[in-house]
Amino acid sequence: MYNSRKKPMEEIAEEMTAIWSCTNETCNGWMRDNFSFSSNPTCPQCQSPMEKGEKKLAVLVNTNPRRNGE
Ligand SMILES: [Zn+2]
Protein backbone atom coordinates (compact mmCIF):
# COMPACT_ATOMS: atom_id res chain seq x y z
CA MET A 1 0.00 0.00 0.00
CA TYR A 2 1.33 3.37 -0.99
CA ASN A 3 0.32 6.67 0.48
CA SER A 4 1.17 8.97 -2.35
CA ARG A 5 -1.78 11.29 -1.95
CA LYS A 6 -2.29 13.51 1.01
CA LYS A 7 -5.80 13.69 2.29
CA PRO A 8 -6.81 17.20 3.29
CA MET A 9 -8.83 15.97 6.24
CA GLU A 10 -8.05 12.66 7.76
CA GLU A 11 -10.58 11.29 10.13
CA ILE A 12 -9.06 10.19 13.35
CA ALA A 13 -10.68 7.07 14.65
CA GLU A 14 -11.04 6.88 18.38
CA GLU A 15 -11.71 3.92 20.58
CA MET A 16 -11.74 3.07 24.23
CA THR A 17 -8.23 2.00 25.02
CA ALA A 18 -6.91 0.21 28.05
CA ILE A 19 -4.66 2.50 30.03
CA TRP A 20 -3.03 2.83 33.40
CA SER A 21 -3.81 6.01 35.29
CA CYS A 22 -2.01 7.44 38.27
CA THR A 23 -3.75 7.05 41.63
CA ASN A 24 -2.29 10.31 42.86
CA GLU A 25 -5.08 12.90 42.67
CA THR A 26 -2.69 15.74 42.07
CA CYS A 27 -1.03 13.97 39.17
CA ASN A 28 -2.52 13.44 35.76
CA GLY A 29 -0.03 10.83 34.64
CA TRP A 30 -1.22 7.89 32.60
CA MET A 31 0.07 5.51 30.00
CA ARG A 32 -1.27 3.13 27.43
CA ASP A 33 -1.52 -0.44 28.57
CA ASN A 34 0.44 -1.38 25.43
CA PHE A 35 3.29 0.77 26.58
CA SER A 36 3.63 -0.62 30.05
CA PHE A 37 5.91 -3.57 30.44
CA SER A 38 4.91 -4.34 33.98
CA SER A 39 1.68 -5.79 35.31
CA ASN A 40 1.95 -3.31 38.13
CA PRO A 41 3.46 -0.13 36.76
CA THR A 42 4.31 2.97 38.70
CA CYS A 43 3.70 6.49 37.48
CA PRO A 44 6.65 7.84 35.51
CA GLN A 45 5.96 11.29 36.93
CA CYS A 46 5.44 10.72 40.64
CA GLN A 47 6.20 7.03 41.18
CA SER A 48 2.75 6.40 42.62
CA PRO A 49 1.02 3.11 41.91
CA MET A 50 -1.21 3.08 38.87
CA GLU A 51 -4.63 1.60 38.36
CA LYS A 52 -6.12 0.15 35.24
CA GLY A 53 -8.71 2.17 33.42
CA GLU A 54 -9.94 3.20 30.02
CA LYS A 55 -9.53 6.31 27.97
CA LYS A 56 -10.88 7.34 24.60
CA LEU A 57 -7.84 7.66 22.39
CA ALA A 58 -6.98 8.00 18.75
CA VAL A 59 -6.34 4.59 17.28
CA LEU A 60 -2.73 3.94 16.47
CA VAL A 61 -2.39 2.69 12.93
CA ASN A 62 0.87 1.24 11.79
CA THR A 63 0.53 1.90 8.09
CA ASN A 64 3.59 4.07 7.68
CA PRO A 65 6.47 3.57 10.07
CA ARG A 66 8.60 6.14 8.31
CA ARG A 67 7.71 9.79 8.70
CA ASN A 68 9.00 12.42 6.35
CA GLY A 69 9.40 16.10 6.92
CA GLU A 70 9.68 16.20 10.65
ZN1 LIG B 1 1.59 10.25 38.97
* Cα(48) to centroid(ligand 1), Å: 5
pLDDT at 62: 65
* Cα(37) to centroid(ligand 1), Å: 17
**Phi (first) and psi of residue 15, to 5 degrees:** -150, 160
* Cα(51) to centroid(ligand 1), Å: 11
* Cα(6) to centroid(ligand 1), Å: 38
pLDDT at 2: 63
Prediction pTM value: 0.64
pLDDT at 38: 74
pLDDT at 68: 57
Question: Following DSSP, what letter does each residue of 1-70 receive, concatenated?
Answer: ----SPPSS----EEEEEEEEES-TT---EEEGGG--SSS-B-TTT--BEEEEEEEEEPP--S-------
